[in-house]
Amino acid sequence: MTGLPPSTPAAFSAASAPGSSAGPAAPAVHVAEEVLRALADGRPVVALESTIFTHGLPRPRNLAVALEAERQLREAGVVPATIGVHAGVPTVGLTTEQITELSAIDGLDKVSLRDLPVVAALGRHGGTTVAATAFLAHRAGIRVFSTGGLGGVHFGASESFDESADTTTLAATPVTVISAGVKSILDIRATLERFETFNIPVIGYRTRKYPGFYVTDSGHEINFSVESPEEAAKVIDARDRLGLPQAVLIANPVDPAKQLPPEELDGILARAWAEAERQGITGNAATPFLLDHIQRDTGGRSLEVNVEVYRGNVRLGGEIAIALAAAAAAASAGGPAGRNSAAQTGA
């Protein structure tokens, strides 16, 4: 597989610098023992990001949603791997105590991929974005990652160059990301163009209408859809057999009965952007500001949609991880998946 390669075991263990008399250095990445065992056993694992509870949701709802997502996966027979940075250690599989601690800290760092070495070196806590979470999940060997909405191209990016690192990271990180599209505050058309430029496949789950996070249909069509977790798993396996480095993006729309009224959304977004511009909010501070403004503007309705979006993506991520694990088990046992793979590789 190309792209950002999974780490060797040494990357997850303490090591001393050659010729150094100092004690062992901290591991580059800590992977929880439960996650390591599950991966070694071929059991399904789903990565979860931490910014949803460090920056995306208000207290105390943030902690409740984070723990609910883990419980939801466990009840489905899937091992959750919540990813964040705790005391300078990028961690794949935060403990309940660590999640609780991070969810309660004010002014926590929002950690994208570029920030990982900085917060690690300075021993800081941080919530990981889609970019950093995808990178760490792939380093640990996790194939499926569920989130709420993706980052992308901001309006006015032709002048500001304001584009999320999610796009470039996903172009070089072969994970599978389940989301409800990109966040509604973004330029969705431009973001889809960037995904195309970076050869990132965007696949609707039972739809060819690209979702807009708060709404089921953003107004943009996509070329492909899959009808089941098993079909999604076949696409992922085909990507891996081809050795392609890009993520596979599964766009999973929120239930139409639970979306924000689409006819209201344009006005809500316009007011949010106007307030951000008035206060001079830009860069990575813009997304949490805008989402908070939308929540207040809608009287909390957007928060309920946000939570519903996340539940649906966690559920689908678990189902796809189970399908991938089943396909891998069948292949190793010489079942149909294994025979098909052997035939295509000429084995």
* Cβ–Cβ < 8 Å for 94, 86: yes
As averages over each run of 10 residues, the pLDDT of the chain (347 residues) reads 44 37 62 98 98 92 97 98 97 98 95 96 96 97 96 66 82 97 85 95 97 93 97 98 97 94 86 85 75 84 93 98 96 64 43
Task: Give the pLDDT of residue 339.
Answer: 46
CA distance 319 to 316: 5
Would you tell me how many other CB atoms lie within 10 Å of the CB of residue 219?
Answer: 11
Task: Give the pLDDT of residue 263.
Answer: 85
DSSP state letters, 125-151: -EEE-HHHHHHHHHHHT--EEE-S-B-
CA distance 324 to 162: 35
Task: Give the pLDDT of residue 153.
Answer: 76
Task: Give the pLDDT of residue 333.
Answer: 84
Ordered domains of the chain (ranges, CATH): 26-329 (3.40.1790.10)
**Considering the entire predicted model, what is its pTM?**
0.86
Task: Give the pLDDT of residue 290.
Answer: 81
* Nearest CA-CA partner of 250 in 205, 209, 188, 213: 205
List active site positions.
Answer: 49, 183
CA–CA distances in Å: residue 201 to residues 7, 232, 266, 279, 313? 25, 12, 27, 37, 18
* Cβ–Cβ < 8 Å for 59, 26: no
Task: Give the pLDDT of residue 9.
Answer: 41
Task: Give the pLDDT of residue 285.
Answer: 75
Token couple for 254: 């929120």
CA distance 344 to 144: 24
CA dihedral 287, 288, 292, 293 (to 10 degrees): -40
CA distance 150 to 163: 11
Task: Give the pLDDT of residue 18.
Answer: 33
Would you tell me how many other CB atoms lie within 10 Å of the CB of residue 251?
Answer: 25
Separate counts of helices (H) and strands (E) for the chain: 14, 13
